[in-house]
Amino acid sequence: MENVVIYNGHLYPVSKVPISYDNRAFKYGDSIFETVRCYAHYPLHFALHYKRMIKAMLRLHMDIASLPREEMLLDLVVKLLQNKKAFSASRVRIELFRSGGGLYTPQQNKINFLIESSEIPNAKYELNDKGLFVDVYGEMMKEYNPVSFFKNGNSLHYILAAIHKQNKDLNDCFLVNQQGKIIEAISSNLFWVKKKVIYTPSVYSGCVAGIMRQVIIDLIKQNNELNLVELQGASNDELLNADEIFLTNAIQGIQWVVGYREKRYFNHTAKKIIQSLNTFTFEHL
């Protein structure tokens, strides 16, 4: 059977989705997207994803009324997963792009939306068996601005970082801001641990305001044995002196780093937090 997606609320085979070549996402990157992990037919942390979506639309002056309400959009995700008989776990991408034509100046602010999904192997979050080897991608720098906190159609920074990762035979790369601080990885937020204190870059450093980042921060704050500090990014020395480094995103949960440059790391804290994450996420489903 041909793969299907939902476009503007209706199911379509992927070969028949009525998106024109001159859509604004293709021409100008005039779009935003959310990537949601789903357990069977249930989207995880969906309220947080929807809240970030609305905040991003406000920043881009998109018409919020043209997006289905939270409950309706969630029902459409469930409809797609049921249609595809997704019984284990899935990655769902929800893309919004401004409809109509125009050049840089849009003709209107209403949006079209596309929901697509693909299966992922593990029903619950699992820590990577082999730690990641990472280094810094420094050819481009990020800055804090009104659109830096969400994912949008202009991903060239991350694409170039991913090519650098591939060329250097790494598992991931750190990105830096204009102050030279390390603030995130290619598709993940950054945390590091030093003597039971967990540090993470503030969203005002220029990093994406990741959904899993927020979930992990909330879990850490509930743990009396751990303290959380948000900084304007990490220096090279701070990471080299850390006891642990781990990355977070909505799909994988937590991934631990074994090597940054010449330093090697443990994963004791990452193991404890991912256990808490699975308990928090799945015990009430």
Through-space distance between the first and last CA atoms of the chain, rounded to whole angstroms: 30
Give yes or no for residue 284 having a pLDDT over 80.
Answer: no
pLDDT digits (tens, 9 = 90+) for 182-232: 999 999 999 999 998 999 999 999 999 999 999 999 999 998 889 999 999
Give yes or no for residue 38 having a pLDDT over 90.
Answer: yes
Give residue 224's pLDDT: 84
Q: Using CA of residue 131, residue 132, residue 133, residue 138, what is the dihedral sign?
A: negative
Single-letter amino acid code for the residue at 166: Q
Span 98-114, average pLDDT:
96
DSSP state of 67: S
Give yes or no for residue 119 having a pLDDT over 70.
Answer: yes
Tokens 């693909």 sit on residue: 118
Give residue 283's pLDDT: 84
Q: Which CATH class is domain 4-120?
A: alpha beta
For residues 246 and 191, the answer to whether their CB atoms sit within 8 Å is yes
For residues 85 and 212, the answer to whether their CB atoms sit within 8 Å is no
Give the DSSP per-residue string, 226-276: -EEEEES-B-HHHHHT-SEEEEEETTTEEEEEEEETTEE---HHHHHHHHH
Of 197, 194, 200, 138, whose CA–CA distance to 165 is shortest? Answer: 138
CB count in 10 Å sphere of residue 20: 7
- For residue 28 the two structure tokens come to 């100008």
Give residue 2's pLDDT: 78
Of 53, 31, 33, 10, whose CA–CA distance to 98 is shortest? Answer: 31
DSSP state of 222: H
Give yes or no for residue 153 having a pLDDT over 90.
Answer: yes
Span 249-264, average pLDDT:
97
The domain ranges of the chain are 4-120, 132-282
Q: pLDDT band at 155, cuts 50/70/90? A: very high
Give residue 126's pLDDT: 97
Q: Which CATH class is domain 132-282?
A: alpha beta
Mean pLDDT rounded to a whole number for the chain: 96
Give residue 1's pLDDT: 64
Full-model pTM? 0.96
Q: pLDDT band at 117, cuts 50/70/90? A: very high
